[in-house]
Structure 1
Amino acid sequence: MGVAIRVAAEDDRERVVQLLDDAFRDDPVSGWVFPDAAHRRDRHPRLMAVFADIVFAEGRVDITEDGAACALWLSVSADEGHADEDHADEGHADEDGPVQLREAVDPDNVRVELVGRLTAEIHPSGRAHKYLWMIAVAPERQGEGLGSALVRSVLDRCDQEGVPAYLEASNERSRALYERLGFGRTGRPLELPDGPRMWPMWREPRAGSATGA
C-alpha cells in the first residue's frame, strides 16, 4: 500500500510543530543551537513553530494522512540564494531574517542567528529549485518509509517539471537517505563553529522524466 499524502492546512499547524519538535530536538544541529537540554526543551518548540509558520506562509507543507510525518518545501527562484558582492545591497533585507529569528525564539542565543546566516551563505543561487527545508517523522514511526514517500512525491513533480532540488542534511542518517533518493553532495560541508557538520546536497531532475521545463 502507498502512503497517503496531502497538503497541510492551517489547522494542521500544531501537529506539524509537534512533529518537528519531536524529530529534531535531539538532532546534532539542535543540540548545538541549544546545548543545555532543559533550555532546549523550552525554546526548541518556538524555533520549530517559526519555521513552520514561514513555510505555511511562503511554501508548501506536505503531511501524511495519518499525521505521522511532514515535509516543508520552499520554491526558490533563480535570483535567490546567497548574495554575492555585486548584490550585497539587494540581499540586505534577507539578512535581517536571522536577526528576527533570534529575537523571536531566544534573544540572547547568537547561535540561533548564526545557523540561519551560515546556511543562507551556502544556499546555491542562479537556478530555480525546490528547497526541502525540513522533514520530520514521528519517532515511533521512523523506519517505515514515510520520509522517503514524502520526499519522492515532490521529486516526482521535480522530474516532470525539470526542476532541481536542494537541501542541507544535518546528520549521517538523513544524508544516507537523501543519497538513496538521488541527491549528491555539492560544495563543502558546513562546519558549525565548535559543532557538527551540515551537508549541502543537490539533485538534478531525472533524465527522461521532465516534460520540457
Structure 2
Amino acid sequence: MGVAIRRAGEADRADVVRLLDEAFMQDPVSSWVFPGEEHRLRMHSGLMEAFFDLALDEGYVDVTEDGAAAALWWSVPAGVPEEGGEDGPALLREAVDPDNERVELVGRLTDAVHPTDRPHQYLHMIAVQPERQGEGLGTALVAAVLERCDREGLHAYLEASNARSRDLYARLGFGFMGTTLDLPDGPRMWPMWREPRGVTGGAGG
C-alpha cells in the first residue's frame, strides 16, 4: 500500500491528541460520554490526552509519516489485575472530568468485557483526518501490527463502535465475540477477537 508508518513518542503528543480530538468529537461513544456539545468541546481533548499517555505507558502509538492517521495500541498481559491495584477508570475520571460519572463508567464496562485469559494486542483507538478518510490509512496502520501478530503468534482485540468499522475489522480477521456491549441509553459496541493467522494451537505468549 506504500503507507509509511513510524512509532510515535512524547514529541508527537500535541499533534496526535489534536487528531484524536478532531476524529472522535462526533463519535457515538464520545457523544455518550459527553452528551452536551459545549461540555464535550471543552473536555474531550483532555480525555484524548489521557488515552495517549496510557498508550505510551501500556503499549505504543503508531502514526503515518505525514501525521494524517494514528493508532493507539496496548500490550495486555494475561490474568485479572490484582486486588488492591490502581482503579484505572476512577483515576481517569478524576484526571479528566471528576463530575462526569460516564468517563468512569465506560472504562468499567469495557474492562468487564475485555478478555483476560490470553495476552494480546489491544487496538484502543484509531483516528484518520476526516479529509483523508477512504485512502486506506487506517487499514495500513492496523495491518502493520497484525502482520507482526501473525509472525509472533500474538492475539489481538478491539471494540468496534459502529457497524461500518465492525465490518472493516471482520475483513482483517477479527471475529465478533458474540455479545455486544450496550452503553446505558447509549450506543452499541462490538467486542472482537483475532487469532494469529498461520499459527496452530490457541496458546499465546
**Does TM, normalized by the shorter one, top 0.5?**
yes
Q: Is the 8 A contact 2:153 2:199 kept in 1?
A: no
- Measured after TM superposition, the shift of residue 203 of structure 1 is 0.5
Could you tell me how far 1:91 is from its partner in structure 2? Answer: 3.7
Superposition pairs of residues 45-56 of structure 1, within 5 angstroms: 45-56=45-56
Q: Is the 8 A contact 1:27 1:171 kept in 2?
A: no
| CA contact 1:160–1:209 (8 Å) conserved in 2 | no
Q: 2:57 — aligned with what?
A: 57
Secondary structure of 2:125's counterpart equals strand
Q: What does 1:177-188 correspond to in 2, within 5 Å?
A: 177-188=168-179
The alignment-based identity, stated in percent, is 66
TM-score, normalized by length of structure 2?
Answer: 0.94
Q: CA RMSD in A?
A: 1.7
Shift of 1:57: 2.1
Match in the other structure for 2:122: 131
Deviation at 1:180, TM superposition (A): 1.1
Q: In structure 1, what is the equivalent of residue 187 of structure 2?
A: 196
In the TM superposition, structure 1's runs of 4+ consecutive aligned residues that sit over 6 Å from their partners are: none
Question: Could you tell me whether the CA contact under 8 Å between 1:159 and 1:209 is conserved in 2?
Answer: no
How far is the alpha carbon of 1:92 from its aligned partner?
Answer: 3.7
Q: Deviations over 1:137-196 (max 9, x none)?
A: 011111100000000000000000011100011112211111111101014100100111
Structure 1 residues 1-213: aligned runs within 5 Å: 2-80=2-80, 90-94=82-86, 96-207=87-198
What is the rounded CA distance, in whole Å, between the counterparts of 1:77 and 1:195 in structure 2?
30
Deviation at 1:69, TM superposition (A): 0.3
Relative to structure 1, the CA distance from residue 209 to residue 148 in structure 2 (aligned partners, 3 Å threshold; closer, same or farther) is: farther
Tell me, in whole angstroms, the C-alpha distance in 2 between the residues paired with 1:50 and 1:187: 30
Q: What's the CA shift string for 1:3-62, capped at 9, x where partnerless? A: 000001211111110111111110100010111111101000000000001111221100
AA matched with 2:28: P
- Give the aligned length: 203
Alpha carbons 1:168, 1:201 under 8 Å: kept: yes
Report the Cα distance in structure 2 between the residues aligned to 1:78 and 1:192, rounded to whole angstroms.
25
Could you tell which deviates more after superposition, 175-184 or 156-165?
Answer: 175-184
CA distance in 1 between partners of 2:137 and 2:200 (Å): 23
C-alpha distance in structure 2 between counterparts of 1:190 and 1:109, whole Å: 20
Post-superposition CA distance 1:49-105 (Å, at most 9, x none): 00001111221100000000000111111114xx6xxxxxx24424x1111111111
Q: Which runs of 5+ in 2 are unaligned?
A: none
